[in-house]
Structure 1
Amino acid sequence: MKSDRLLSIMLLLQTHQQLPASDLADRLEVSVRTIMRDVQALSAAGVPVYTVRGPQGGIALLPGFRTDVTGLTADESRALFVLLSGPAHTDLGLAPALGSALRKVMAALPAPHRLEADLVSRRILIDPVRWRGTPGPDQPATDLAAFQQAVITDRRLRLRYRHGRDNQTRTYTLDPYGLVSKAGVWYLVADHDGEPRLFRTDRAQSATVLDQPALRRDGIELADVWDTLRRRIDDIPALIAVTVKVRDEILAKFLRIHEPDLDPARPSQAEYEPGWTRVELRFRALVAAEMLLAFGPDAEVLTPDDLRQALAHKAAETAALYTPRPAA
């Protein structure tokens, strides 16, 4: 829209003091002729904009002229306040500067936009750090419309959700606090029966906004709940990668039992050697992986070495129990 372009010209000139008309045209993706018409429109509206002739010339604003950001649309105002979560700015030593900048922007916003901008800043967070030990985002496009509506209008949400670990779909009635983008993966942060929970939006089978107000705990904000949930996950010990070769005759049974332990970041390799398939698993502790011994010689752990040693020790102890007893 022309009004947006005129504001953009003023903001660019405030930042750079003077720019060639061709530079402005490239930045705003219009022709030089359009830029010159816009400059005439600004001048007619009382903006002290003028042209400087010559090789070093261009479009300039009278020194000292400033404009505010009252030309921002509602969407633009909200977008400014969907910012990185606090820890990122704290780590860079920029938290005080960020708070000061946002207060200045908020004060300059048109009054109708201030409430929405403030609400968005408390309902949507961006956390750029991915979870430890997980691959980068490979999330399909997700329709966030219902999630956004629920968190912005303070409504309950009915969610049909497929869990990643057991692949089961369950239905929840949730009280949302907000949305978090964790390294490009969107999560809904909500209470279920008064307890904080985390839901990946790309696992939602359906999301329906209910005509009931969200029942959030008093004095609790999205940032508080997110910090609690994030710490719970970050404090979980790193998963241990285990590689097993499985005899093909029992592969189907093996996969049924260990489906929750399959490592999505390391796909299994078919035909590891004739009659065997290599399977990649993850366990939270070595002791949990010792159940692999139940498959006997039909499944051999290839890595890690300390798990092989633990299984060899257990196998030896078990074999000792069944050493033939001397005849009476």
Structure 2
Amino acid sequence: MRSDRLLATLLLLQAHGRLSAPEIARRLEVSTRTVARDVEALSSAGVPVYAERGRLGGVVLMPGFRTDVSGLTDTEMRALLALTDDRAGALGRELASAVRKLLAAIPEARRPGITQARRTVIVEQHAWRRPTAAPPALGVLERAVAVDERVRMRYRSASTGTVSTSTVDPYGLVSKAGTWYLIAARRGSPRMFRVDRVQEAEATGVPARRPDERGLEEVWADLRDRLEAAPEAVDVRVRVVPDWRDRLLRVVAPQLVDDPREAVDALDLPFRSAGAAVGALLGFGAAVEVLGPVDVRAEMAARAAEVVALYGPSC
């Protein structure tokens, strides 16, 4: 389309200031006559571009002229700058690169306020004490999602710790609070898979066959809302004697809805319910102390008192 070619010509001149007509023609794969017509069209539209004859001539854009070809407002550019994260895998690096190119395309007068966002606003995508490197399988999954192919993967279960092989049909990838999830259909049912639990992954070359026509955003919203709406799920913060830590995590794993999270001198355990937390933790005695929530700690104390009353010395 001619509008695309005119924009491409303008971007080339903004980047280089002066280019010969044959060079522009070579880069855009058009004739020099087409370049001459496009330069005339740009000039008629008010762009200060003109042709100079002679050995050092060419197509020239008036020095200092820049136009905002992005169409983004200052607020939109500030949001993009704040959200870029070079550590968020290939997607994060590509986003950061794209934003830098957009910034280069805006007029000089708009740059100071927008660039200030980089110095005054940080959106940190990674939780405390969590790995900052992208999961090893993320690159493979990104490529498979981009070409809409079925994926075969080895996946570690959070509840049992076992690794099994599955073939899934991806909807796409979601990054939530620094954790990547693959949203895919397995045996006809949409599910979420934590990418850092994917041991190996490969695209099969077979087109993905999802069970419905819904897009990633709709499926993710449904899965997310179902998880967050679980009425009994509760985060329990515990302090554990170091020698008992590994044993604790093995025992409570089947009762967790997500991975444990490190806190300062403690662990946050996302239990399916308060009752599941009390039942799983009571057997550890003094090796595990529940720090919160208050109602779970109170329930632990009540159950412990009942056990003491049952097995304590009779009067």
TM norm structure 2: 0.54
Cα 1:230–1:310 change in 2 (3 A) is closer
Cα 1:320–1:144 change in 2 (3 A) is closer
Q: 1:1-328 to 2 correspondence within 5 Å?
A: 7=7, 10=10, 28=15, 34-37=16-19, 44=36, 45-46=39-40, 47-48=42-43, 49-50=47-48, 58=63, 138-142=131-135, 144=138, 146-236=140-230, 239-246=234-241, 253-258=247-252, 263-266=260-263, 269=265, 281-291=269-279, 292-322=281-311
* Bigger mean CA offset, 217-226 vs 40-49: 40-49
8 Å CA contact 1:139, 1:185 repeated in 2: no
Q: Distance in 2 between matches of 1:150 and 1:212?
A: 10
8 Å CA contact 2:238, 2:268 repeated in 1: yes
* Bigger mean CA offset, 134-143 vs 234-243: 134-143
Which ranges of structure 2 fall in alignment gaps of 5 or more residues? Answer: 25-34, 51-61, 70-79, 81-122
Q: Distance in 2 between matches of 1:154 and 1:193?
A: 17
How much has 1:172 moved relative to structure 2? 0.6
Paired residues, number:
228
Q: Deviations over 1:133-192 (max 9, x none)?
A: x76985523565543443344432111123445443221111222233435543322111
Which residue identity does 1:315 align to in structure 2? Answer: A
Which ranges of structure 1 fall in alignment gaps of 5 or more residues? Answer: 14-23, 29-33, 62-66, 68-82, 84-127, 270-277
Which residue identity does 2:274 align to in structure 1? Answer: L
Percent of aligned pairs sharing the same letter: 37
- 3-state SS in 1 of match to 2:261: coil
Cα 1:318–1:201 change in 2 (3 A) is closer
Which residue identity does 1:199 align to in structure 2? Answer: F
Which residue identity does 2:167 align to in structure 1? Answer: T
Cα 1:241–1:322 change in 2 (3 A) is closer
- 3-state SS in 2 of match to 1:320: helix
TM norm structure 1: 0.52
Q: Deviations over 1:196-233 (max 9, x none)?
A: 11123343222222243322224333333222212122
How much has 1:298 moved relative to structure 2? 4.3
Q: Distance in 1 between matches of 2:204 and 2:151?
A: 6
Cα 1:288–1:174 change in 2 (3 A) is same
Q: Distance in 2 between matches of 1:39 and 1:256?
A: 70
Q: Distance in 2 between matches of 1:249 and 1:141?
A: 30
8 Å CA contact 2:172, 2:183 repeated in 1: yes
